[in-house]
Structure 1
Amino acid sequence: MLKKLFKILVLASVFVVSPLVLSAANDPLFINLSTDEANRSLMAINFGKHHSSTGHPLTIFLNDKAVILGVKAGSSKHAEQQQALSEVINTGALVIMCPPCLKQAGYSEPDLVAGVKLGGPKVTGDALFKDGTKTMSW
């Protein structure tokens, strides 16, 4: 019985420790942001900002309802989020706008706030599929 319990504990510890061993100190972080909800969107941006400041290259992908965070029309209602996006862009983060989402929301590339890049297969794919990239969604 003790042998079986020991084997289970060893196996469980392998599953817990393995992801930690596989994570490098500077793995890129890709945040999929789809909400325009004030608290959730700011939490996502600030989470990325924190990890970017510790050396993790950051990409924030704006899609669905989060489109408004990356367009000039959102400046009055989402000033805090746009300020936070501007700060991460200024420190080297990549903020990508989903093109079909932008169009669906009734906006176009000239409507983007400064520093936000229009996505596409290459731009988005290069960030998302970079070796070691970790993803989170809000």
Structure 2
Amino acid sequence: MKILARLFLLIALALGAIAPPAIAGDTDPLFINLTTDDQHRANMGISFGKNQLERGHPLTIFLNDKGVLIGAKANAAKYADHQKTLTDLIARGASVLICPMCMKHYGVTEGDLVPGVRVGNPDLTGAALFRDNTKTLTW
């Protein structure tokens, strides 16, 4: 039995060695799951997405968990730069979605959202997340 297990391990290692690396194509979509309300970390995620959008990658930013606070106009004083960048990204074709369950949890209302931010749902969010060749990152 040990010989068979070693044989399977060798085959798996050999196949792994010849498999092509996972490389992003020139226009592969990027889905950023932004869960933080930390100003620096949120800026990192949004800026990374902005840089990739400028390189031709369709961009979706999903404001999730505490990240929903960034999308609320009530927090404009704390997140002025973030909200300006999100608005600019939306104007340039990026999609910014927000988690409705998290909105409810943190007391964010739909009427308080930065213009252009859309409330996610399984179809809308799933379509962005599972688009062919999409790469994902989380902050």
Instruction: Name the TM-score, length of structure 1 as normaliser.
Output: 0.86
Over the matched positions of the two proteins, sequence identity in percent amounts to 49
Return closer, same or farther for 1:13/1:65 CA change in 2, 3 Å cut-off: same
Instruction: Name the TM-score, length of structure 2 as normaliser.
Output: 0.85
Shift of 1:14: 4.0
Q: Distance in 1 between matches of 2:76 and 2:104?
A: 18
Q: Distance in 2 between matches of 1:19 and 1:100?
A: 33
SS of corresponding position for 2:96? strand
Q: Distance in 2 between matches of 1:133 and 1:12?
A: 22
Return closer, same or farther for 1:12/1:126 CA change in 2, 3 Å cut-off: closer
Task: Specify the alignment match of 1:7 in structure 2.
Answer: none
Task: Specify the alignment match of 2:121 in structure 1.
Answer: 120
Q: Distance in 1 between matches of 2:15 and 2:120?
A: 42
Q: Give deviations 1:87-129, integer Å, cap 9, x for gaps.
A: 1111000000000000111122111110100000111000000
RMSD: 1.5
Q: How does 1:40-51 map to 2 (within 5 A)?
A: 40-51=41-52
| Of 21, 33, 51, the match for 1:18 | 21
Q: Distance in 1 between matches of 2:119 and 2:65?
A: 14
Task: Specify the alignment match of 1:60 in structure 2.
Answer: 61
Task: Specify the alignment match of 1:3 in structure 2.
Answer: none
SS of corresponding position for 2:26? coil
Shift of 1:11: 7.2
Return closer, same or farther for 1:11/1:95 CA change in 2, 3 Å cut-off: same
8 A contact 2:73–2:112 mirrored in 1: yes
Task: Specify the alignment match of 1:73 in structure 2.
Answer: 74
Q: Give the unaligned 5+ runs of structure 1.
A: 1-9
Provide the aligned length of Structure 1 versus Structure 2. 126
Q: Give deviations 1:42-101, integer Å, cap 9, x for gaps.
A: 010010000001100000000111111101111011101111111111100000000000
Q: Give the unaligned 5+ runs of structure 2.
A: 1-13
